[in-house]
Amino acid sequence: MDLVALLAIQVLYAIASLALISVGLAIIFGMMKVINLAHGEFLMLGGYAAIEANRYGINIWIAMLVVAPLVVGAIGAIVERTIIRWLYGRMIDTMLATWGLSLFLVGLTTAVFGNTTVGLSAPLGSFEIGSYRVSAYTLFVIAVAFVTLGGVLAMLRFTRLGLVARGAMQNANMAAALGVNPNRVYSVTFAAGAALTGLAGGVLAPVSGVFPTIGVAYVAKSFITVIGGGAAIVTGTATASALFGAVNQLATYATTPVFGEVALLAAAIVLIRLLPQGITGRFFRRSL
Amino acid sequence: MILEVSQLAAGYGRIPILSGVTFEVAEGEFVGVLGHNGMGKTTLMRALMGYLPATAGRVAFAGADMTRAEPYLRARAGMGYVPQGREIFPGLSVLDNLRMGAVARSAPEGPAIEAALAEFPRLKRLMGRPGGALSGGEQQLLALARCLVGRPKLILLDEPTEGIQPSIIDEMVETLLRLRERGGLTMILVEQNLEFIAALSQRVLIIQKGAIVRTARPDELHDHGLIHEFIGVDD
């Protein structure tokens, strides 16, 4: 029974971490159709922002939950204004530009922070389930993922900003004819996606540590989750994370972490083969 | 004059479509635009709304120069646009489509939506349905209602009867006539449906090869010779 509870927590954690690292990309890709190959580096920057802020004496919770998203959101706004805005509708050009940005950010952080892993101590202790010890921070990450997805859903469904964003993303020209400034919507959306990515980087920094090339570990899983989820940003991210996170963790438990990763990739291939439009292309089609 | 267009030229890339377009529209006036297919009617509407940059000439709306203004700035100034093909937001509910008409301009949402629904009561029972699930006629009514929610001073209405069933066309005529009689709204109406344009317009501009070549009275649209020469269809 204890083992089942432990395994359930680990599966939930795998789902939550996938959802966290993917939701920002889902917003940027799902709403703007921009393939941001620097997504992994935005995560990395969120981690560094949290670690550096904490090093300069800022409370660790504020560093992770406030500073990291603010810093990466601001970087996202600058990137949108200086690079992405000129490339809307040019998918290949956007990919090349964000790939270049990714290389630049890796080089810049290596020059500034060095090619070593830095980390934060998890700010919560552990608790026992029978004879097993579980980090309480695991539960915190799960909670952050739920709150983040719920917050994005609420913002899209219940706020004027969410309505305008959904309208502009469906038909930017028509939204403009109704008085919406599309450039402002794009800018806010990109910055919001980047901020959520920064939040994920900050929250996961105590778990994984941070180093300049850590984005590579994140970016493939994020894209797989977003593509597997389909067009609905929140429901797609949640369902794909649930599927891939569960497959990954259960396979890891049954075999090894390496086979867990292989199982995740195999599940993604099967899913895309069966559901080319992703989960929400077939199910929950009216969801957000 | 609420709209003054002077020597306007516009086109797609290097292909000029409009040249030397000059006309004025008085406040409260309903003006029709007629012409053969491909003569520049929709291009004129797109240029007036700012989707196509003017390569020459001037567009002034309510006394302000709008020649270089982005579409959203023209909308905020009081220009409304109901494009050919309706372009409702297919994934948004009817209510959210209507809300889009209000939120973008920070107009009070509830009263504006209620007022628009009073003009198009057929939409009331469809509020929760996605815009993309409506029939073509219902989408057209929704596009008009959405535009009205923004309380525009001028509406650019492009081919509203295209592919629409007659009962809904009649409903549109009734509603637009009511709005015309109530005053305060100006409209430029592009149409190929002669009955529709004759019923609503107080003046008809005839466009040929990207230029306004003649102004006609609505009753002149029964003149077979004129129709054949400038529009290419018999009424």
The tens digit of pLDDT for each residue in B110-127 reads 888 999 999 999 999 999
pLDDT lower than 50: segments of chain A: none
Q: What's the number of CA atoms in the CB half-sphere (13 Å) around residue B12?
A: 6
CB within 8 Å: A177 and B83: yes
Q: Dump pLDDT digits (tens) for A3-43.
A: 888 888 999 999 999 999 999 999 998 888 888 999 999 99
- How close A169 gets to chain B, by Cα (Å)? 10
Q: Give me the pLDDT at residue B234, please.
A: 46
Cβ neighbours of B96 in A, within 8 Å: 163, 166-167
CB contact under 8 Å between B89 and A178, yes or no, is: no
Look at the block and give the residue holding tokens 């956007």: A94
Q: Residue B107 pLDDT > 70, yes or no?
A: no
Q: State residue B50 phi and psi, 5-degree precision.
A: 95, 5
Q: How far is the C-alpha of A123 from the C-alpha of A268, rounded, in Å?
A: 34
What is the per-residue pLDDT for A192? Answer: 95
Look at residue B227 and tell me whether its pLDDT is greater than 80: no
Measured at the CA of A254, the angle between CA A239 and CA A246, to 5 degrees, comes to: 5
Quick check: is A270 in a domain? no
* B163: confidence class by pLDDT, cuts 50, 70, 90: confident
Q: Is the pLDDT of residue B105 over 70?
A: no
Taking the CA of residue A165 and the nearest CA in chain B, the distance in Å comes to 10
What is the pTM assigned to this prediction? 0.85
Spatial distance between the Cα atoms of A68 and A64, rounded to a whole number of angstroms: 5
Asked if residue A80 is part of any domain, the answer here is yes
Q: Does B1 touch chain A (CB under 8 A)?
A: no
Range of the domain at A78: 2-218
Q: Are A167 and B100 a contacting pair at CB < 8 A?
A: yes
Nearest-CA distance B93 → chain A (Å): 10
Closest-CA residue of B relative to A287 is B91
Whether A177 sits inside 8 A of B80 (CB atoms) is yes
Q: In the predicted model, is pLDDT for residue B214 greater than 90?
A: no
Q: According to the 3-state scheme, what is the secondary structure of B4-57? A: EEEEEEEEECCEEEEEEEEEEECCCCEEEEECCCCCCHHHHHHHHHCCCCEEEE
A164 inside 8 A of chain B by CB: yes
Asked whether residue A68 is domain-assigned, the answer is yes
Residue A268 belongs to some domain of the structure: no
Dihedral sign, Cα of residue B13, residue B14, residue B16, residue B21: positive
Confidence of residue B232 (pLDDT cuts 50, 70, 90): low
Q: Please list every residue in chain A whose beta carbon sits closer than 8 Å to the beta carbon of residue B75.
A: 176-179
**Residue B175 pLDDT more than 70?**
yes
Asked if the structure places residue A248 within a domain, the reply is no
Chain B residues with beta carbon closer than 8 angstroms to that of A175: 100, 104
- Confidence band for B235, pLDDT divided at 50, 70 and 90: very low
| Domain total in chain A | 1
Q: CB–CB of B72 and A167 under 8 A? A: no
Sorted by where each starts, the structural domains of chain B and their CATH numbers stand as 29-49+71-230 (3.40.50.300)
Smallest CA–CA distance from B152 into chain A, residue = A178
Say if CB A193 and CB A22 are below 8 A apart.
Answer: no
Nearest chain A Cα distance for residue B105, angstroms: 6
Closest A-chain CA to B143:
A174
Torsional class of B63: left (φ above 0), alpha (ψ -120 to 50), beta (otherwise): left
Looking at residue B37, its pLDDT comes to 81
**Which residue in the set A163, A174, A176 is minimally distant from B96, CB to CB?**
A163
Predicted complex ipTM: 0.88
Q: Is the minimum CB–CB distance between A281 and chain B shorter than 8 Å?
A: no
Contact residues on chain A for B83, CB-CB shorter than 8 A:
174, 177
Residues from chain B contacting residue A177 (CB–CB below 8 Å): 49, 71-72, 75, 80-81, 83
- Kindly state the average pLDDT of the residues B177-201: 89
Cβ–Cβ below 8 Å for A170 and B92: yes
**Candidate from A160, A170, A181 with C-beta closest to B89:** A170
- Cβ of A178 within 8 Å of Cβ of B51? The answer is no
Residue B156 reports pLDDT greater than 60: yes
Q: What is the DSSP string of B46-86?
A: HHHHTSS-EEEEEEEETTEE-TT--HHHHHHHTEEEE-TT-
Nearest alpha carbon to residue B232 among B5, B22, B8, B39: B39
What per-residue confidence (pLDDT) applies to A121? Answer: 83
- Residue A167: which of B76, B92, B147 has the nearest Cβ? B92
List pLDDT tens digits, range B20-60. 899 999 999 999 998 888 888 899 999 999 999 999 999 99
How many contacts (CB atoms, under 8 Å) link A and B?
A: 65
Res. B144: pLDDT tops 70: yes
Residues A6/A129, Cβ–Cβ less than 8 Å: yes
- Residues B60-87 pLDDT 10s: 999 899 999 999 999 999 999 999 988 9
| Assigned domain for A279 exists | no
Lookup result for tokens 């073509």: B136
**What distances in angstroms separate CA A60 from CA A50, A135, B59, one per listed residue?**
7, 17, 57
Q: What are phi and psi of A195, to 5 degrees?
A: -65, -40
**Nearest chain A CA: its distance from B52 CA (Å):** 12
Residue A38: CA count within 13 A, CB half-sphere: 28
Name which of A233, A234, A216, A229 is nearest A268 in CA terms: A229
Quick one: pLDDT at residue B56? 92
- Confidence at residue B129, expressed as pLDDT on a 0 to 100 scale: 93
Mean pLDDT value across residues B206-228: 82
